[in-house]
Amino acid sequence: MKLDKFLEEENIAGAFESLPDGDTFINLDQTDIEAIDVEFDGKTKTRYKLKTKDKEYMVGVQVVRGMQEVKTKKPDCKRVRITKTGEKMNTKYTVVAVIE
Domain edges within the chain: 3-97
9 pLDDT higher than 80: no
Per-residue pLDDT tens digits for 44-85: 888 899 988 888 888 888 999 999 999 999 999 999 999 999
User: What is the number of alpha carbons within 13 Å of residue 20 lying toward its C-beta?
Assistant: 9
Tell me how far apart the alpha carbons of residues 82 and 20 are, in angstroms, rounded to a whole number.
Answer: 10
pLDDT at residue 16 in the model: 37
Alpha carbon distance, N-terminus to C-terminus of the chain: 24
| pLDDT band of 12, cuts 50, 70, 90 | low
Average pLDDT score over residue span 87-94:
85
